[in-house]
Structure 1
Amino acid sequence: MNRTVKGLIVTSLTVGFISLLCVTFANAQEGRGLIIGQVTDPQGAVVPNATVTAVREGTQQKYTAQTNSGGDFSIPYLQPGIYTVLVEAAGFKKALRTAVTVDVAGKVNLNIALDIGSISETVTIQAETALINTADASGGTVIDPERVQNLPLNGRQIYTLLDLTPGVKFTQSTFGPGGFSGTRGWDETNQYSINGVSGLYNQFTLNGAPITQQTSTNTGQWEIAPNVDAVHEFKIMTNTYDAQYGRAGGGTINTIIKNGTKDFHGTAFDFWRNDVLDANTFQLNASKTPRQRHNQHQFGGTLGGPIPKIGKNTFFFLSFEGWREILPNGFVSTTPAVDVRPRADGAVDFRQFFSSQLPLCGGSVTTGCYNPTGTSPRGGIYDPLSCATKNADGTCKTRNRFSYNGVLDVIPPNRISPIGLKILNLYPLPNRGGAGEFSNFTATNPGRYRYNQPLIRIDHNFSEKTRFYGMYAWWSGTEFRSNNGFPGPAMRGDINFRSNKTAILDVTRTFSSTLFGDLRVSYNRTYKTTANGAVAGGLETLTDQDLGLTMPVRQGIINTVSRNWAPSISVSGYDQIIGNSVNQSVEALMYETYEVSPSFSKTMGRHSLHFGAQGMRFHAIPGFILGNPNGSFAFNPDFTRQNPGTQTSGANNDGAGVAALLLGYPTGGSVDFSYDVYEYYHYFGGFLQDDFKLRRNLTLNLGMRWDVELSPHERFNKLNAGFDYTVKSPINDLITFPTLPNGASIVKPINGGFRFSSKDLAPYDTQWNHWQPRVGVAWALNSKTVLRSGWGKFTAVARESVGIRRGPRTLPSPPEILRTVATLRQDISIPEFRIPTVLCCRWVIL
């Protein structure tokens, strides 16, 4: 690269740097380290104008500073690694200090005494012990390269090492069928309590850039776990008194990615696990089903070095990790037996259904038994459209027992609902011979997991004063895991897709021997879909009309989605079927962070100043907001029990949920109506940090930070923004106001309604007074002992349920919704069928 082009690039970067600093206000969280110290002569007098050069092993990158009139120096923005520090001054021998380790976000206090002599002579100082941190009061744990590479990790997910830090506890307690194991690279979580603080208030960064979900109910969750072989080291900062770190009430976890060096280096790995030493599951053993196949491969590698033909100042680093797993997933489920399915004549005989569960009446057995030929103390299927006896008020007390051709507990063919029969046929036939009515179906549907995670980093040194690096990481994965083992549209389970993209650009500039600057721009995007079955996951097709239904989505009553999937079905005693929900979870469907962070470091006498800012813009589409707009129905025995007025008849074991299904009488149902939300908001922060060396062994950390998060916006003003007690309620015109028994009238209209955000009305007021002073002290008693203490005020992001928000909507009258949603048998009137409003739609407003 010629000098003219190089100068143009440097000038452009510098101008852009200063311009962004002027127009952007923000919080630069830094993962690189700092070396500060003092240079003296043999008598302890300070040596001004000494040149201090730190050279990083591997890349031979040089970082240079000069001591001031007090002999103090500061070298910021050092990539974590091992350095050799050379000190030169006229009239003194050179001093060479080897093996100086700079950790993630570490501050090294390096005091060097020069011997009088010729500058052509060099005194090498060998480090007998590692330097301890005597310049920073903050507490935490560095997981260094040796531990990162050598500690055993089941699943090789880097953040499982957080448990090695005092004060950190992994709080995840639910594992298994939901797809969370906690050890894989896609098991995103915020279940880390640091110093007793909820994981909602932690911040994860990658090379200082935010990779944390900042909103919804998973605030504080990391969004990418880099390949272990790509991680240089990371630090868990549990007590941070440095003002550059903000937006965290718990801890800050900063991970640093390796970079290329002047030599080529690489790794390759394949971790393989199979079923040879695995035991069979209890369920499959009980059903005499053999152990299923388990095959897991976690593979990948890294490669780094100089980029050929570009020059000695450009380096690359590549990383890839892949995961492929077939997981044994055995089920013992319950499906309707052959005896509760239609016979050749179309009737359904329930006698075997009760005989297999209850003792038969006869001889001395007269109570607690089932009699298929006469009056039965227990069991039996009763007709909800009949009435055998009545109460004093004329309501039905007991129902008549079903009978067909003189045989009790047989539902006639003309009473079978075509819709109910279609639903019943979605259940597979039992495949466990002799199992009876329940636990009669065995399946071995294997779970399947896969993800890929490529990463690339490019470093380029324009000169010893201007350095740049860019990094891009991406991962995506899929999960398939059945929860019931059923084939076809009946399958329910986890069919998930997750992905994340992270991009970071960073430039560092040395303006003088005492002034350094850095500018970082980053982008992080997470996208997820969470389907709860084969229909929602696109693996099977089943619409409402396939079952003979016309659901509210097809009628236009629910217009938040266009898909016309069949409703999910729950029948008492059997596994639920038909998964028709997408993103009905606590995870965000899409989440983005745009960040810019300029900062400067300045040495002034004994003061090492670090000041800067950070600005972020967040986008969020909550995934759980649409709920289940395609609806659900539930069937229990109530409509087919003898006593319609009380549920205590269930103690008689009468009725059956599958009978209610065959008759077409749901005992419950719902359709979720809610708008999606696309919200965005801004965060700004600024800080000033002063590491003040009172003495060679005593450092005072003084800092001030200010943060503000502005009120969110929604693209179409769907966010709640308060309550208006004077506006006429939207339900007022849907109510018929009765006259009270004393002749008085109810006061109307009913007043009160939610207000919604606009450009003139924010959902909540912005708080501008988040000033956070911080003080720390580090006192080195000797080369092996340091006392640290500190106090600080911190502002964290509060947990926010962003999804349960509604916009204005005109609905049809409640009876219209009830008619279309609440019954499968629209041609039959059921007098005792009292449909509560909750079966219509679920309305939740926060």
Structure 2
Amino acid sequence: MSRVRWKSDNPLDLKLRNSTSRVFWSRGKGQTCSRRAYVASAAIAMVLLFGIFTVAGLLAQSYYGGLRGAIRDPNGQAVPNARVALIDESTSVGRSTITSSDGEYAFNQVIPSTYSVVAEAAGFKKFQRKRVLIATQEQITLDLNLELGELTQTVTVTAEVPLVQTSDASQGQVLNDQQLTELPNIGRNPFILSKVAQNVIQVGNPVMNRMQDQSSTALTSVAGGMLWQNNFFIDGVPISDWQGRPIIIPSIETVAEVKVQANTYDSEMGRTGGGVFNTILKSGSNNFHGTAYGAIRRTALNANLFFNNAAGIPRGSSPNDNWAGNFGGPVWIPKVYNGRSRTFFFLALEGYNNSEASSTRFYVPTALERAGDFSQTKTPGGAPYVIYDPLTTVGNRVGSYTRLPFPNSVIPANRLNTVGKNIASYYPLPTSLPSFYGDPDLTAAGVAASRGRQYVAKVDHQILHWWQASLSYLRYYSIEPGANYFGGPASPDQWALSRKVDATAINNLFTISPTTVLAVRYGFNRFPNVFYTTSEIEGFDGSTLGFPRSFLDEAMGRAFPTISMTTASGLANSNHSWNTFVNNSVSAIVSKSHFSFNGAFTQSSPINPAAGTGADVADMLLGYAASGSASLATRLTDYTHYYSFYGQDDFRLTSRLTVNLGLRWERENGIQEEQDRLYVNFDKQAVNPLAANVTGTSPKGVIQFAGSGASPR
């Protein structure tokens, strides 16, 4: 395992010019902004404008922090009309404001970063406080004391101790870049590290901690909250699906910090029955910087499995590779555009090939049993296993039944069902002689080779001195297969789960005045979630088993039927589902989900109420299934709308007391379906529509459907 870091130092000459209304930034000689630079800036602005004019609204939940405080003279008196600048130390992008009559200043909607705070006032030395860390949703209070003197004199203070958040009562813990990078995290899942925060309990499978393990990640309780009830954000955009899962788990290489909020007392946060995971992606800076990471583990470094050792089977090929990296800096095109202190990019990627070997024991029918000959089959006590003929079942007066056994427990060839016999032929032969019916006689080994890829891009741009914008895009792909122990279309555990996720966030900050900032955000997420089987992808033809074409034409999908057995191993899987989650958000959360296909296919032979031979394999050979079904799925387009508005204000009554007042309004209209096909209730008292066609009785009971204009039917 290795990690390489590099960066290029090119310090920016930052000059704070005297001005009555704003802060200007400039470089040395020859660094003026050219016409081509303006053209490039306009092109970037057009892209970022999309996030503003597609929809409109007020800002809801965010990741921004804040800074407030008071400017005082050596006697502790307020200094009004002092100019205070807040400068991002990594990008040199800054904002400024003017203190009020009582010396108070405030910066709202501050992007989490490390800042320098510069205060200027006539008759006082310029004061500069460096390394002021503002984390996700942290409201910092910083009072500054100016010294008498000239503006040409500067007092510089470098922070040594992190500032304590005293401006609000919201509680949480920030996991910064150093913690995310250096703390042990074998799955490289930033949300898993929330366990270091107070009142966080994770109950998911600890092995399931990769970027593809969204469901296990959701099994987290925060401050006693229920599982699957947390809210996840990336750059202020919600990424939780209807089940409470994060649709994408960002790579550690791209995460600047994660704030785990256990108790959100301010009105800005809502729509959660648990905690909030507020994630901020990294951004470029004025220096080019990057990291590279790699980890390799070969099959030879892993011990063999227990059942493999017992059966003399070597471990299957199971290499594990993991790689990641990032690179960011200013957008710089030689002789065309110099984006230092203005335009920044950040790129990251991560991928893995994660192979997991497994082995288990099955009971599969012997060659004689597959042919209907159970004459050599024994019970656990060593007695001959008796196979009964279901067609000889006779009812007794006392309510019981008797059946006659097949001679020598051999099913005649003319009694074997074609479908049952063809299905049984897909069983592999045992590798050992079973002592009795049901005794495991096959050791099967398999390898589940998961693959995951993630690509991240982010652009930050200072469009105008009063307009700052960012665009982030995450693309993630994974496939997680089962072990496929038998191979072929009938193998159990032959399923695969495929996911391809897109997550986008566009953030805009408008400085309307030195004391007023408007933030506008747009987000779009897409989360296709597809379960399928190998036989389905290959288009298995059920007619080869003997099913009539007329039946297969009405069935859903083309896959090997799922066979559930009582004693012998089952065959195939019933994991067939397609669903897509789509989330559009502006201001309040607006979600729209499209479950494009969802269903299951399970098929066996026709039901016979008199079936029963005493052995499940014999039942299958005779065509006497205990149950059977074929499911037909309806394509549904479900959606829900969520609206929220809030107002929040903080009053600093004294240097030790701040009062937070807020009001939040939320409304969610519940699940609806665009074409009224989602069943939501059964009204037992309503008159059934069929009552008009029936005489002598009045049938009741109607099904109610969700959706616009839904009505009982």
CA contact (8 A) 1:34 1:107 kept: yes
User: Unpaired runs of 5+ in structure 1?
Assistant: 176-180, 343-347, 360-368, 371-378, 598-613, 642-654, 736-745, 763-806, 809-846
Question: Equivalences for 1:509-528 in 2 at 5 Å?
Answer: 509-528=510-529
Return the match for 1:684 from 633, 637, 643: 643
1:534 aligned partner: 534
1:722 shift after superposition = 4.9
1:188 aligned partner: 214
In 2, the alpha carbon distance for the partners of 1:27 and 1:468 equals 15
1:399 shift after superposition = 1.8
In 1, the alpha carbon distance for the partners of 2:565 and 2:193 equals 44
Shift in alpha-carbon separation, 1:428–1:122, aligned structure 2, 3 A: same
1:595 aligned partner: 585
1:152-181 deviation digits (Å, cap 9, x = unpaired)? 1111111111111111111225x7xxxxx3
In 2, the alpha carbon distance for the partners of 1:636 and 1:350 equals 22
Shift in alpha-carbon separation, 1:35–1:161, aligned structure 2, 3 A: same
1:621 aligned partner: 595
CA contact (8 A) 2:81 2:98 kept: yes
Residue identity over aligned pairs, in percent, reads 29
CA contact (8 A) 1:271 1:298 kept: yes
Shift in alpha-carbon separation, 1:75–1:170, aligned structure 2, 3 A: same
TM-score relative to the length of structure 1: 0.74
1:753 aligned partner: 702
Larger displacement relative to structure 2 (259-268 or 4-13): 4-13
Shift in alpha-carbon separation, 1:434–1:665, aligned structure 2, 3 A: closer
Return the match for 2:374 from 332, 335, 350: 350
1:352 is paired with a residue whose SS is coil
1:11 shift after superposition = 11
1:195-223 deviation digits (Å, cap 9, x = unpaired)? 1111332110001111111x2xx2x2111
1:585-624 deviation digits (Å, cap 9, x = unpaired)? xxx8110110112xxxxxxxxxxxxxxxx2413223176x
In 2, the alpha carbon distance for the partners of 1:324 and 1:11 equals 38
1:97 shift after superposition = 0.6
Matched to 1:188, the amino acid is Q
1:281 shift after superposition = 2.3
Larger displacement relative to structure 2 (270-279 or 517-526): 270-279
1:580 shift after superposition = 4.6
Matched to 1:668, the amino acid is S
1:334 aligned partner: 363
CA contact (8 A) 2:287 2:330 kept: yes
CA contact (8 A) 1:26 1:684 kept: no
Return the match for 1:201 from 229, 237, 246: 229
In 2, the alpha carbon distance for the partners of 1:441 and 1:35 equals 67
CA contact (8 A) 1:140 1:239 kept: yes
1:211 aligned partner: 239
Question: Equivalences for 1:123-138 in 2 at 5 Å?
Answer: 123-138=155-170
1:686 shift after superposition = 0.8
1:662 is paired with a residue whose SS is helix
Return the match for 2:397 from 392, 399, 418: 392
CA contact (8 A) 1:723 1:752 kept: yes
Return the match for 2:603 from 624, 628, 631: 631
Matched to 1:592, the amino acid is V
1:228 aligns with 2:252: yes
1:354-376 deviation digits (Å, cap 9, x = unpaired)? 2x7443xxxxxxxxx44xxxxxx
Shift in alpha-carbon separation, 1:551–1:172, aligned structure 2, 3 A: farther
Shift in alpha-carbon separation, 1:155–1:468, aligned structure 2, 3 A: same
1:813 aligned partner: none
Question: Equivalences for 1:243-392 in 2 at 5 Å?
Answer: 243-309=267-333, 310-311=337-338, 312=340, 313-342=342-371, 348-354=372-378, 357-359=380-382, 369-370=383-384, 379-387=385-393, 391-392=396-397
In 1, the alpha carbon distance for the partners of 2:596 and 2:76 equals 62
1:241 aligns with 2:265: yes
1:436 shift after superposition = 6.8
1:349 is paired with a residue whose SS is coil
User: Unpaired runs of 5+ in structure 2?
Assistant: 1-33
Matched to 1:505, the amino acid is I
1:727 aligned partner: 687
1:543 aligns with 2:492: no
1:101 aligned partner: 133
Shift in alpha-carbon separation, 1:50–1:659, aligned structure 2, 3 A: same
1:441 shift after superposition = 1.8
Matched to 1:321, the amino acid is E
CA contact (8 A) 1:381 1:640 kept: no
In 1, the alpha carbon distance for the partners of 2:53 and 2:81 equals 32
CA contact (8 A) 2:52 2:520 kept: no
Shift in alpha-carbon separation, 1:238–1:284, aligned structure 2, 3 A: same
1:636 shift after superposition = 12
CA contact (8 A) 1:314 1:461 kept: yes
1:331 shift after superposition = 2.8
Matched to 2:253, the amino acid is D
CA contact (8 A) 1:259 1:457 kept: yes
CA contact (8 A) 2:177 2:256 kept: yes
1:115 aligns with 2:105: no
CA RMSD of superposed structures (Å): 3.1
Matched to 2:390, the amino acid is P
Matched to 2:353, the amino acid is R
Shift in alpha-carbon separation, 1:634–1:501, aligned structure 2, 3 A: farther
1:135 is paired with a residue whose SS is coil
Larger displacement relative to structure 2 (517-526 or 70-79): 70-79
Return the match for 1:575 from 569, 573, 578: 569
2:388 is paired with a residue whose SS is coil
TM-score relative to the length of structure 2: 0.87
CA contact (8 A) 1:570 1:635 kept: no
Question: Equivalences for 1:754-793 in 2 at 5 Å?
Answer: 754-757=703-706, 759-761=708-710
1:264 shift after superposition = 0.7
Matched to 1:728, the amino acid is N
1:48-98 deviation digits (Å, cap 9, x = unpaired)? 111111222221111212112121111123222211111011111011111
1:344-396 deviation digits (Å, cap 9, x = unpaired)? xxxx3211112x7443xxxxxxxxx44xxxxxxxx311211125x65238x88
1:646 aligned partner: none
Shift in alpha-carbon separation, 1:710–1:572, aligned structure 2, 3 A: closer
1:12 shift after superposition = 8.8
In 2, the alpha carbon distance for the partners of 1:683 and 1:341 equals 57
1:24 shift after superposition = 4.5
- Count of residues in Structure 1 that have an aligned counterpart in Structure 2: 670
Return the match for 2:68 from 24, 33, 36: 36
1:494 shift after superposition = 2.9
In 1, the alpha carbon distance for the partners of 2:542 and 2:673 equals 33
1:384 is paired with a residue whose SS is strand
Matched to 2:593, the amino acid is H
1:664 aligns with 2:662: no
Shift in alpha-carbon separation, 1:418–1:555, aligned structure 2, 3 A: same
1:748 shift after superposition = 2.5
CA contact (8 A) 1:326 1:446 kept: yes
In 1, the alpha carbon distance for the partners of 2:565 and 2:550 equals 22
